[in-house]
Structure 1
């Protein structure tokens, strides 16, 4: 039985709470997101609006995932899947995000059945064009997540901000964008490239043949320049806010004083090293190439071109 229509009072409260939750999620403010979801639950649960509540819970657990609280996120997404019908968008999104959680734990065996479930679902997104676009973007996301988190290692190189930025500056002065992406790809160990191939190959095998032919083959995906682009795209999820949040020190310095001051203060190399270190990644050549690309693009272009997409924004 469908729940009753929302009352005007419910609509008014949700008009305030749901955008606030989205804002908290984008800012990575997990504690505020938790508090807001409790408020949203108090609005929706008494009248049985569970599906809409689960949408908010997906956003909460995605925030937890992005905050590194993977076990909390996994249990949350499992709960959402259990409480929603398989042929709903909220269930599809929970399944996708749950797969990403497992990829972030480098648990590909648990991720693959979920990847298959997501990519074989023909019912939730009825438009062929929109379904193919969703699948394309989701496969790219699976590739990015699996490859980046495969780089986590206890054997990290020591990364010095001055050294990384100085070497990045030399690369910017002598190489073009494509060459830097290739250098980034070449910095990725073979085992991580093999994981990229495994994830991409498995994902694309879930698609109908005609749809699969529209996408690059797994062999093309492990071209070293393409690998570099995949890694750079994945790093943005942990780096974007520190560079592009208008309230961040780096952004404020760039906005008020220009890129030269940002570079003089070694802000970019510090942000990259901190972000990679937080993931347990310490590959010097990777850090140098990422810093070089950000310098090459500049803060403004980077922030416009590489803003991460929230999965629920693909609706």
Structure 2
């Protein structure tokens, strides 16, 4: 079967791919799904395994994962694994993201099995630079998801926005960034650190010894400051859309540096809302996260915190 795209198909496909990337980067999941569906219509049924189609679907399903639409994303990643060859990067990326889905669902055993498969197949990536980039992204994402997995459902403490905001202001006034990261790290439940230790040790043991040396040691990974940075990374990821929606009140006030956005608890309210979506109820964590976010300008935060996918942009290799 000749699956080379025609000039007509390419002329339609390229603009849709660009729009799809923009939708994913802006967190517009519904638009991403719609564009992936339009791309699928360009391919005959017998071309369901074409890498350009599978790549578009993977972008859309990763956007669903970031939006916490776990069941939908999980079905998508399973489908991509079935349609892609097991020695391809598409298969590796779909498998990694499927592992994240299982972590979110607290199915650690299945997640570890998938992580093992991915790491065993990483050497299929021919470029050393790309291989190490993928390894680094994978380990970082797994670490973040281990923290989030055990945070989900910890909604046993009242989240008083005024108290959280007051504590955040005190942290800004009295503590350095390093100290705030340590403060956040110390607020993380022991169960998160236990899971992080378990999955990280399991993951690292699958890596060849030379590759292990490129990653922080287990002791460094469990220091409160490093745990705090990892926790901040995942909360930023899930809060990004709330803080960076151009139409939202907080973004407009923040961008224009209107004083009341800092004085009236807007940041703490947005953090509490985000954590509430995941049933996370840890006031000290909310204060630490709010304090760090308030140190950024809107433009800095929204650019630096934009969710970075596991998928590697082929144009940047």
Using the size of structure 2 for normalisation, the TM-score is 0.92
- The answer on 1:204 being equivalent to 2:204 is yes
Counterpart in 1 of 2:22?
Answer: 23
Q: How many residues align?
A: 313
> Which structure ranks higher in relative contact order (CA pairs < 8 Å, sequence separation ≥ 6)?
2
Are the counterparts in 1 of residues 61 and 76 from structure 2 also a CA contact under 8 Å?
Answer: yes
Asked whether the 8 Å contact 2:102–2:111 carries over to 1, the reply is yes
Could you report, residue by residue, the CA deviation over 1:108-154 in whole angstroms, capped at 9, with x for unpaired residues? 10101111111222443211232112101210110001211211125
Q: 1:283 aligned to 2:282?
A: yes
Q: Matched residues in 2 for 1:112 and 1:309: separation?
A: 22
2:120 paired residue number: 120
Deviation at residue 247 of structure 1 after TM alignment: 3.6
CA contact (8 A) 2:185 2:225 kept: yes
Unaligned runs of 5+ in 2: none
| Two-structure CA RMSD over aligned residues (Å) | 1.8
Q: What is the match of residue 270 of structure 1?
A: 269
C-alpha separation in 2, matches of 1:110 and 1:16: 37
Q: Which residue of 2 aligns with 1:224?
A: 224
2-side partners of 1:158 and 1:245: how far apart? 27
Moved more, 292-301 or 166-175: 292-301
Write out the 4+ residue segments of structure 1 that deviate beyond 6 Å after TM superposition: none
> 2:156: which partner in 1?
156
Question: Cα offset for 1:46?
Answer: 5.0
1:306–1:259 CA distance, 2 compared to 1 (3 A)? farther
- Aligned partners of 1:45 and 1:53 also within 8 Å: no
- What secondary structure does 1:297 align onto? coil
In structure 1, stretches of 5+ residues that fail to align are none
In the TM superposition, 1:109-148 aligns within 5 A as 109-148=109-148
Distance 1:62 1:133 in 2: 18
> In the aligned structure 2, how far is the partner of 1:8 from the partner of 1:165?
57
Q: CA deviation at 1:195?
A: 0.7
CA separation of 1:76 and 1:230: change in aligned 2, threshold 3 A: same
Is 1:36 matched with 2:35? yes
